[in-house]
Amino acid sequence: MNYISIGVIIITAFLLSMIVTKLEIPVLKSKAGQNIREDGPESHLSKAGTPSMGGIAIIIGTVITAVASSLVLSGNMAEVTVIILVFVGFGLIGFFDDYLKVIKRNNLGLRAYQKFGLQIVISVALAVYLANYSIGSTQVYIPFADTYVDFGMWYIPFIVFVVLAMTNAVNLTDGLDGLASGVTSFVSLFFAIAGITYGIASGAYFCAAMCGACLGFLVFNKNPAKVFMGDTGSLALGGGLAAAAIVMKLELLLPIVGLLYVIEALSVILQVGYFKATGGKRIFKMAPIHHHFEKCGFSEVQVVISFWIFTIVCCIIGFGVI
């Protein structure tokens, strides 16, 4: 495994995702037009009707490339299969939610307890499997200290928290053209290179494939977006990213290189908590925080590029940690 193989995987996934996205847009446009929040930035109202559920292309591009690369380059499908199952599982949750909201015009989609309950089932299954059958079992790598700590009985609840937190944080980040797809491509690239560093082929191949698939989708998702990934894409990306990092025993690097996801999620938590505690007052003009910056006068493109640069800096810091 080397940098050339990772580059080939990224290019392959990029081309496959771009082709599938191109093909799916006219189909989705006739069936899956996006509804826009009325209380959101006025500039977003023109996006009404833009096809959603485009994350299907990201899933297809990632899965096909990750499976092919694992078979050809390593022949070991055990770990990459686990990652893919989580990736597709969360994608299916998002797909059913999108299907109800966008195609069936049921604004509620899946109920919160249904969506969260399904996420918990997948997260627990992953945690139990890794605790019993993975190399290193319940050990977790601690950045900065450069050591592994055995979490023992706390490993399963810890892993469940990591998966749920990352999945929903990525979902909240998906609110501007090219934001989630661009940020996730950088974070995925980081873990692909980290996988090379630690010799963890399955995680590296999957992350390289996801990086390429995100970039291929970004061709049509950049401003002005011709398609949105929907929960189909954002939940899949969050779940896949978390699963890959956990399998590589690098889960505690997620809040470092994926700090933007953390900030996006915290902005919503703080906004909701402060609103309820003060009887209607707000910390931000709008949450998640990317909308706050739009309300402050920054253009959508300015916010997205700034967040991309912020993520690149976080990834560079991450390389300094491993």
Write out the chain's pLDDT in tens, 322 residues.
Answer: 588 899 999 999 999 999 999 999 999 988 765 555 555 565 565 667 789 899 999 999 999 999 999 888 876 788 899 999 999 999 999 999 999 988 777 767 789 899 999 999 999 999 999 999 877 789 998 988 888 999 999 999 999 999 999 999 999 999 999 999 999 999 999 999 998 887 777 789 999 999 999 999 999 999 999 999 999 999 999 999 999 999 999 999 999 999 999 999 999 999 999 999 998 899 999 999 999 999 999 999 999 999 999 999 999 999 998 7
CA distance 129 to 81: 12
Question: What is the per-residue pLDDT for 70?
Answer: 87
Q: What is the pLDDT of residue 1?
A: 57
Element (H, E) at 264: helix 259-278
Structure-token pair, residue 120 = 């918990």
Question: What angle (nearest 5°) sits at the alpha carbon of residue 268, between those of residues 98 and 299?
Answer: 80
Helix-then-strand count for the chain, H and E: 12, 2
- Roughly what angle, to the nearest 10 degrees, separates helices 155-173 and 179-198? 140
pLDDT at 104: 77
- 224-239 b/e (C-beta count within 10 Å ≥ 16 → b): ebbbbbbbbbbbbbbb
Token couple for 173: 């980040």
Whole-number pLDDT of residue 180: 97
Please give the pLDDT value at position 174: 95
Give me the pLDDT at residue 238, please.
Answer: 97
Distance, in Å, from the CA atom of 305 to the CA atom of 1, rounded to the nearest integer, reads 32
Total residue count of the chain as it appears in this document: 322
The token pair at 271 is 């906004």
- Distances in Å between the Cα of 44 and the Cα atoms of 160, 192, 291, 294, 295 are 34, 34, 10, 10, 12
CA 21 to chain CA centroid, Å, is: 17
